[in-house]
Amino acid sequence: MAPRAGRAKVHKPKGEKKKKEEKTLPVMLDVTVHLPSGTQITLKGISTDRILDVRRLLAVNVETCHLTNFSLAHEIKGGRLRDSLEIAVLKPCVLTLVEEDYTEEKAITHVRRLLDIVSSTACFGPSGKQLTDTHDGSHKENSPSTEDSAKLGTSKSKGKSEAAAVIAEAKEASEKGDIDKLCPPSKLGQFYQFFSFSHLTAPIQCKNLLLKFCCFDLRPATFILQVRLCNGKLVTAVACTSGFYNAGKPQTKFYQLVNLLRHASKAFANAYDDLIKAFVERNKFGNIPYGLRSNTWVVPPTAAEAPSTFPPLPSEDETWGGNGGGQGRDDESVEKEWSRDFMVLARMPCKTDEERQVRDRKAFLLHSLFVDTCLVHATSVLKDAEQLPDVPLIDDRGHFLVKEAGSLNVLLAQDVTDASKKVDFKIDTIHSRQLTPEELSQKNLFKGIAADESTTVHDTATLGVVLIRHKKYMALVEARGLKEAQEMINLPNDLQVEEQAEGGANALNVNSLRSLLHQTASVSVDPEEVRKSRDVLQRIMAESLKGLQNESDRTDGFIRWELGACWVQHLQTQANSEKADAKGSNKQDPKKKTNEKLVDKKTVLEKTKPLDSLRDHVSDSQESSSASLEKPKEVDPLKVQSEAHLKSLLGDAAFTRLKESDIGLHSKTVPELVAGADQYYNDVALPKLVSDFASLELSPVDGRTLTDFMHTRGLRMRSLGRVAELSKNLPHIQSLCVHEMVVRAFKHVLRAMVAAVTHPSELAVSIAVALNAMLGTPSKESMLESSNTSELLTWKWLEAFTLKRFGWTLSVDPRPELRKYAVLRGICHKVGVEIAPRDYDYQSPNPFSSADIISMVPVYKQAACSSADGRTLLESSKTALDKGKLDDAVAYGTKALAKLVAVCGSYHRMTAGAYSLLAVVLYHTGDFNQATIYQQKALDINERELGLDHPDTMKSYGDLAVFYYRLQHTELALKYVNRALYLLHLICGPSHPNTAATYINVAMMEEGLGNVHIALRYLHEALKCNQRLLGADHIQTAASYHAIAIALSLMEAYSLSVQHEQTTLQILQAKLGPDDLRTQDAAAWLDYFDSKAVEQQEAARTGAPKPDASIASKGHLSVSDLLEYINAEAELKRKELENIKRKPK
């Protein structure tokens, strides 16, 4: 169900300090911009926006999206306002757009913008217009027929009986499991339909656009452009500093190329106007489908049609000044003194928030430049290595080949052809090769328990390393001289780092470093090559299976440093709780909001009792505090020795910080620390993770989000089997774990196949053969012929691998249960494979051919470097939102956004998460307009910087749809919610709580359009899904009952609404208690439905007018607003109802 707005009242501030903070909270502002044409437009901005944001708003407005080369002026502040100027200081907030002179670069950029705008008519394959016109791909066949409409009308007249029939029909359909009829399975061939306008005439023929630089004296001309228009007319335009003109007619100039082409051809003008009109119909608020990049594992259709050339999208087309984004392509970046610069950052002051913000900004800029430089140049080195396959990358002593690139060392290695083995190539082991695994774990543990806001920047050894995989090669790039730099004395106190352009937008798209796998335009399948590849796969799987079976069992005791940090936080929480209990306050603690837990808190606390021994010294000192005043303390020499040893390992500052945390770890020996961390890992961290999954505090949708959740808690991916075991009552989590185990296993198979390739031209065939063995369905004949086919050996190996590595036993034949697209997506992400957008037949033995495998891209790992303070504020905002403290949530969210904007930039992918969270928080306060603006920013960033199917992008689609719905733009909301639903079905399938929640959102929107029958189908599907996945008494299940009650009230079936809302209230009272706002909300709704049922019964008996059902659309109101609405209505009808009740029966 969509999150409700206004779940808590906005209380008046207390004290001057509170008032000052509230003054800084963002508010909406209208920004008026006067255009050179004499017209003006009004943009919806926010008080925290800057001039840079105004430029972005102009870029996504259909009236001004073609403008590129301009400055903004203000009547008081003057002209050419700097991008960093906040619009809140502009009084009045009225700007003038001033056209600037073109340079060659800016003129080419202007042409690229036009190509970008019209690219949606030619680059994204078949149009999805038929989908958007019917709200969703299935509504044409599932929309209410005449018969259904008649039923609906009858149900309104007859009330409960007909509504009950509709409910029974929806329930029966859900029980049959025919969700495919309501919402067909997602097809990969439709991936780009959401962005396609191919049903429109392309204003210009992009493939026939020619650029000719002037090589003769025609000043002030810059270049000549030949444009083939939609009607075939060829226009030769000349670019100059003041605009564009037709060749031979310099007296008639147009500043905008669009205006020149409009003047040249009415056909172009009509086609362009139709396109702009289609943009408005798609979304009048923006989100124009231009500026997109090939940053997803599914390539654009134009690239699939020409795999040997991979025509780039305009934003990345170097012919028109585009590129893959990022920095570091020049030789100057390679020669930079990286080690020295990282050490300068580590020594910068960082005691206050302000100091850390300055330091973090420089660290972010420097590290981003370092990673870009490593990726660009290491990929080039790996491509060169491919040309010399006979050069050994590892010598006889096991040392890697080292190549120098400026001030960088590039360590090269090659994947092995054994799928059960891998090269030990990790970021955190590059400077610790002399350490044993146990010593390395201890080192990570020390880093974790001593972690603070500066841990990432201070760990220069990890910060200055990037691991890159491309095809069958690996490169570990490090800044040369990191150890020597630690001993430098005469280092500067500050560091100058070049700022990023456009607020951090257009970061490096690693997919732009792809290697194409086809040399010719026509891709033919050679049966002999396919046979050879199958033989290679069969040999690899046979040898790998044999090696895996002979492998002795081994335990993975590796410790991630995040585990130590989480352990300390857990112990601090326990210590604070004990101190609060020890005070014996007479005031009873307020009831805390409790979430449904798979492993309840009592169980977790019981399991953590042994950890209390780590704080024995605290309780001992408290108990003997009085005695210590009389007797001198006895010094334990072993304790002093262990403290001194730990202090030498951590350093003075870190040891002091650990000691002052008052959790007792500072006095433990190293073996005790390792044992305690291991106990915390098994008894607390793993059950707590599953507990958070059960409460939906965490809701992973794919392997990437699951991995992130585990890694941030210091959990190893080898524990996936244990997580799956603990999640036996959470089918969707167990399924997700199994899928991730399968993906991680098949990753090794595909890497082994790529490593076995002797010539690059064989890569596409080898990858296709491996994918067929993993995801195809072998024929019965092949299974009967031999038990040693490559397909059967692959699955035998998979069963052995998951058991050995994860401790998980797969079902007898897991293939029918696997979501093939999810597995394919995971494999492509981890190995770096780009494929064509086609509908693959997984029931076939060979769903893939070499023509489907387009290219391979680098895959890399790096240390995350942003703002620890910003992340902490984000977590505080989330926590406050969960507790219903909306004022605090808004304050924390605003501060977090400001911090991340200051560190990462306004339009960097790391900032998008802050925009998205603040949008949700503002939505809960009822500020739908401002929430929508923030979420639109987040979506624009996510699509271009993260990928078109990234989990954050998918979430932005769903959240934005709900916001549009609350603003009464229901049809627009349906477009975006169906895009979210398409991606959810593709990634995590219909059996997931997020999918069920999206069904409820779709149902709300269908209700708004009067399609109550369709809404009930979605609602019952959501209810069935939540009951199956989470349980009949889960909070999310209660949300499903509440949504059905709302839908029934629209049909005036108030008695049925009462029944469903009673169930909602019972669940919430049991789970949250009577004082929770959501419980109060349900009670208010129950009272309302009950009163309406009574009114309806009285009306039927006396013939009075029927009760009004309009409140059903008020499902988003807060408790106070809802009661106010109900009471106002009740006041108007009170006397009438009393008179009716006094009449004799």
Rg from Cα positions in the chain: 32
Which amino acid does the sequence have at 166? V
End-to-end alpha carbon distance in the chain: 43
Sheet (strand 234-240) strand order: 210-213, 221-228, 234-240, 243-246, 253-254
3-state DSSP assignment of residue 683: helix
- The residues, any chain, with a CB within 8 Å of residue 1057's CB and separated by 6 or more, are 1045, 1046, 1048, 1049, 1089, 1092, 1093
Q: Which residues contact 1079 (CB under 8 A, 6 or more apart)?
A: 1065, 1068, 1069, 1072, 1073
Q: Model pTM?
A: 0.89
Strands (E) located in 678-738: none
Q: What is the helix (H) or strand (E) element at residue 46, kind and residue range? A: strand 40-46
Question: For residue 799, which amino acid is it?
Answer: E
Q: Which residues have a Cβ under 8 Å from the Cβ of 819 and sit 6 or more positions away?
A: 739, 988, 989
Give the residue carrying structure tokens 């401790």. 807
Residues 117-129+195-290, CATH architecture: 2-Layer Sandwich (3.30)
Q: Parallel, antiparallel, or unpaired for β 465-470 and 473-479?
A: antiparallel
Residue 917 contacts residue 878 (beta carbons within 8 Å): yes
Give the max Cα distance, the chain.
Answer: 105
Cα separation, 702 vs 901, in Å, equals: 28
Query: Which 8-state DSSP code applies to residue 882?
Result: H
Integer Cα distance of 771 and 848 in angstroms: 7
d(CA 984, CA 547): 38
Residue 213's DSSP bridge partners are 223
pLDDT digits (tens, 9 = 90+) for 943-996: 999 999 999 999 999 999 999 999 999 999 999 999 999 999 999 999 999 999
Angle between helices 160-176 and 1035-1050 in degrees, nearest 10: 140
Rounded to whole angstroms, how far apart are CA atoms 643 and 650?
10
Q: How far apart are CA 1110 and CA 1088, in angstroms?
A: 12
How do beta strands 859-861 and 833-835 pair?
Answer: unpaired
CA angle (867, 869, 875) in 5-degree steps: 105
- The ranges assigned to domains in the chain are 25-100, 117-129+195-290, 331-497, 527-556+723-861, 561-577+594-617+637-715
Q: Give the pair of three-digit tokens for residue 1039.
A: 């949300």
Q: Are 1085 and 190 spatial neighbours (Cβ–Cβ below 8 Å)?
A: no
Q: Could you tell me the two tokens for 840?
A: 């693959």
Q: Check residue 181 and give its pLDDT.
A: 72
The rounded distance, in Å, linking the Cα atoms of 122 and 1129 is 55
For the record, the structure tokens of 166 come out as 């509709």
CA distance 915 to 963: 14
Pairing of strands 833-835, 853-856: antiparallel
Query: Rounded to an integer, what distance in angstroms lies between the CA atom of residue 500 and that of residue 365?
Result: 7
The one-letter amino acid code at 237 reads: A
pLDDT digits (tens, 9 = 90+) for 276-330: 999 999 999 999 999 999 999 999 999 999 999 999 999 999 999 999 999 988 8
Take residue 446 and report the two structure tokens written for it. Answer: 């020390």
Read off the amino acid at residue 78: G
Residues 6+ apart with CB under 8 A from 601: none
Q: At 763, phi and psi to the nearest 5?
A: -65, -50
Query: Who's near 1111: CB < 8 A, 6+ residues apart?
Result: 1049, 1088, 1125, 1126, 1129
Sequence-separated contacts (24+) of 350-353 with Cβ below 8 Å: 350/453, 350/454, 350/457, 353/869
Residues of the chain short of pLDDT 50, as ranges, are 1-23, 130-158, 215-218, 589-630, 1111-1145
Q: Which whole-number Å values give the CA distances from 305 to 193, 302, 523, in the listed order?
A: 16, 5, 10
Query: Which among 993, 1012, 995 has a CA at the least distance from the CA of 1004?
Result: 1012
Return all residues near 734 (Cβ < 8 A) that are at least 6 apart: 724, 727, 728
pLDDT for 35: 97
Instruction: Give the CA angle between residues 859, 861, 863 to the nearest 5°.
Output: 155
Count other Cβ atoms within 10 Å, centred on residue 401.
16
User: SS in 3 state form for 63-102?
Assistant: CCCCCCCEEEEECCCECCCCCCCEHHHCCCCEEEEEECCC
DSSP label of 320: G
What is d(CA 347, CA 484) in angstroms, rounded to the nearest whole number? 15
Architecture of domain 25-100: Roll (3.10)
Say whether the peptide bond before residue 92 is cis (omega within 30 degrees of 0). Answer: yes
